[in-house]
Structure 1
Amino acid sequence: MKRRFLAAGVAAVLVSFTAGAGTAAGWWDKPHPPRPGTVVPALPAGQANPLIATGVGIGANTALYKTSGIGPTALNTTAPAGSEASYIDTAIFPGGTLPAGVTITEAQGINALRRIGENLQAAGLSYADVYTMRVFLQNPSGATIADFAGWNRAYRQYFANADLTTGKFVPIPLGTAPPAKPFVVNKSRPSRFALEIENLPVTGWLVEVEVDAAYPKR
């Protein structure tokens, strides 16, 4: 199995954002862990729009939810069953036609993240409640490496797309199109790893995602 890890910076700073159970004082500068019922991210220092958290602290008695691995749904009936193109979400890309520069991994990533959103909603949660993510990528046909850049564009459509200083959304490109408002404005940045693997369990899948989320404290 081939594996390539995405690394994040090691410096951390407390930035307040709503993620699951909410935030608390940073555990790294206090002699005690996060308050019960809270989730606290550690983010790279000096960045207004970091991609991911470097870690996350989870307070005691925080209600958590974990998804199974979720991949894209075969929604593109114009493509052969089991093909990579069959997992293009036609609600986003009508007719299964990808705009200029949109890669098949990017399209499948969007599809998978939409399914993640549906899963979370059924559990009474949202993208904003996600605090950890695990991503498994397979090489597209003919490629020698997984398309991490395409995946990250898909990811930014749903996560880490609000400036932590201003609170305003950060325009995100879809393929090579000019950056525009992301599909879901969300300032949450989960801790995350992304691996390139040899094979995913469903023929045609290039993306599989698992997330952990925290129920908001009420």
Structure 2
Amino acid sequence: MKNRTKIAVAVVVTAAVAVPGTAVAAGRLFEPRPTEAVSFVTGDTASIADGVAFGKNVSWYKSSGLGPSALNRAPGVSTEERYIPTDVFPGGVLPAGVTITEAQGINVLLRIGENLERAGLSYDDVVSMRVFLQNPAGQEKMDFAGWNRAYRQFFANTNRATGAPLDVQLGSTTTAPMIVNPARPSRFALEIENLPVDGWLVEVEVDAVYPR
């Protein structure tokens, strides 16, 4: 792992309270050093941070909103199935329990990894994430569980106390994560009536901090 100034603070009470340039963690005044980005994570099992505080001299990267790539060119597939990543699921065939949203989420996060690499960054540099989910055809609401399974393939899949990798869910089975990564970014997820590209069920935007 690269030498970095990004650190994590375990918050044992409520989430950090933001005031200009400062935060309150565990009842004390806290201000990140100028080149630090400090993630506030509550407890050992948290998969996302409560928030992140940026020092005044932090260099950071903000992505555009990215959706999945149209990789499934099999004849007769639906617009949603077109975005199944065939490099992960050959022939566009999904294993037991893997949903379209889960497959598209993996597709999007692989694409984000490529963008991060072009910017000189990696998944463990990500400190914040915004997720937009559309309900699959015939479903009344977004597939948040499927998205979360995709997310854990790339983020928050190590034991916070020991750093050891954790197995994660892929559909109805348990596997090693695709990318081992301790980062737990701050995150929100919203259900959107219509994403900008027909067939997209997932769009993601991230912020990442450059190592020193």
Match of 1:211 among 202, 206, 212: 206
Query: Which aligned pairs between 1:54-203 and structure 2 lie closer than 5 A?
Result: 54-80=50-76, 83-177=79-173, 179-203=174-198
Cα distance in 2 for residues equivalent to 1:202 and 1:81 = 16
- Deviation (angstroms), 1:141: 0.3
- Deviation (angstroms), 1:79: 4.8
Match of 2:29 among 28, 31, 42: 31
Match of 1:9 in 2: none
- Deviation (angstroms), 1:43: 1.0
- Deviation (angstroms), 1:159: 0.3
Cα pair distance change 1:170/1:79, threshold 3 Å? farther
- Structure 2: gaps spanning 5 or more residues: 11-22
Moved over 3 A (4+): 17-21, 24-27, 29-32, 79-82
Cα distance in 1 for residues equivalent to 2:2 and 2:24 = 19
Match of 1:22 in 2: 6
TM-score (norm 1): 0.86
Cα pair distance change 1:113/1:58, threshold 3 Å? same
- Structure 1: gaps spanning 5 or more residues: 1-16
Task: Give the CA RMSD over aligned residues.
Answer: 2.0
Query: Secondary structure in 1 aligned to 2:170?
Result: coil
Cα distance in 1 for residues equivalent to 2:2 and 2:185 = 11
Normalized per residue, the structure richer in strand is 2
Cα distance in 1 for residues equivalent to 2:169 and 2:30 = 41
Contact 2:9 2:40 in 1 (8 A): no
Match of 2:39 among 17, 38, 41: 41
Cα pair distance change 1:25/1:110, threshold 3 Å? closer
Contact 1:36 1:61 in 2 (8 A): yes
- How many residues are aligned here? 198
| Residues 41-64 of structure 1 deviation map (CA, whole Å, 9 limit, x = unaligned) | 1111xx323110011111110001
Cα pair distance change 1:19/1:185, threshold 3 Å? farther
Cα distance in 1 for residues equivalent to 2:116 and 2:102 = 21
